[in-house]
Amino acid sequence: GNSVTQMEGPVTLSEEAFLTINCTYTATGYPSLFWYVQYPGEGLQLLLKATKADDKGSNKGFEATYRKETTSFHLEKGSVQVSDSAVYFCALSPSGNTPLVFGKGTRLSVIA
Amino acid sequence: GAVVSQHPSWVICKSGTSVKIECRSLDFQATTMFWYRQFPKQSLMLMATSNEGSKATYEQGVEKDKFLINHASLTLSTLTVTSAHPEDSSFYICSARRQGVANEKLFFGSGTQLSVL
């Protein structure tokens, strides 16, 4: 079946530190991969996506590369800010209209 | 941008009572809405998919008579947890999809934390 595994949180970093949140997946076929972010009190928002192998999604300084050989889609940011504190969810979609499959979410806290 | 309003954001209820959670798309028509549940330290798990005007499709293991979903209009879907018990305590999130749009254009509510005493 389809599943997503992401690193356990919480993750606490100092401002300007480098961030990596690991995400690996299991899927049949060629899924699309996503990172969603949920800021306190808000709904999940799409942060970035990649639809095929070797694609790199990027947004707001965050990046993730679709690695088919390692079935991974790790989220990275070179220099985090306090405003990046949120819960980050890795997700996959087996095809365009099938429901998303989510990971457990990783809470990130950035301290000044 | 598109907004999905979910209400209430948290609710505490006694065992045996029913709780209704509303999910509204504020500025677009949502032909499909998804309901997810997340237990502590677990993944967001899809409970059911609802299409406007038709019966919801429930995932395996989700009791349709316990979790009643109504999607009577293009802007509103409701989830009613009937005869709630402590094991139903969880975080519930809805998401809405515009007609003809792929999954990356899903819009999510902010979630409802349900605590059943």
- Distance, in Å, from the CA atom of A25 to the CA atom of A70, rounded to the nearest integer, reads 9
The answer to whether the Cα torsion of B10, B16, B17, B21 is positive or negative is: positive
pLDDT of residue A85: 97
Interchain contact A42–B (C-beta under 8 A): yes
> Which one, of B18, B25, B27, lies nearest residue B94 by Cα?
B25
Q: Are A106 and A8 in contact (CB under 8 A)?
A: yes
Size of interface A-B (CB pairs under 8 A): 60
Indicate the average pLDDT of chain B: 89
Is B104 a residue whose pLDDT tops 60?
Answer: no
| Rounded mean pLDDT, B37-61 | 89
Q: Are B90 and B38 in contact (CB under 8 A)?
A: yes
Interchain contact B57–A (C-beta under 8 A): no
**What order do you get walking across the sheet with A19-21 strand by strand?**
A19-21, A75-77, A62-65, A56-59
Tokens of A87: 């819960």
pLDDT of residue B97: 85
pLDDT of residue B72: 81
| Rounded mean pLDDT, B54-59 | 91
Q: Which of A8, A100, A104 is closest, CB to CB, to B103?
A: A100
**Residue, of A79 and B2, whose pLDDT is higher:** A79
pLDDT of residue A36: 94
pLDDT of residue A31: 92
Q: CA A81, A91, A32, B54: dihedral to nearest 10 degrees?
A: -130
pLDDT in tens, A27-86: 988 899 999 999 988 888 899 999 999 999 999 999 999 999 999 999 999 999 999 999
Strands (E), chain A: 3-6, 11-14, 19-21, 23-26, 32-38, 45-50, 56-59, 62-65, 75-77, 86-93, 101-102, 106-111
Q: SS3 for B26?
A: coil
Task: Kindly determine whether residue A43 and residue B109, on different chains, have CB atoms separated by under 8 Å.
Answer: yes
- Distance, in Å, from the CA atom of A92 to the CA atom of A25, rounded to the nearest integer, reads 8
Query: At B102, is the pLDDT very low, low, confident or very high (cuts 50, 70, 90)?
Result: low
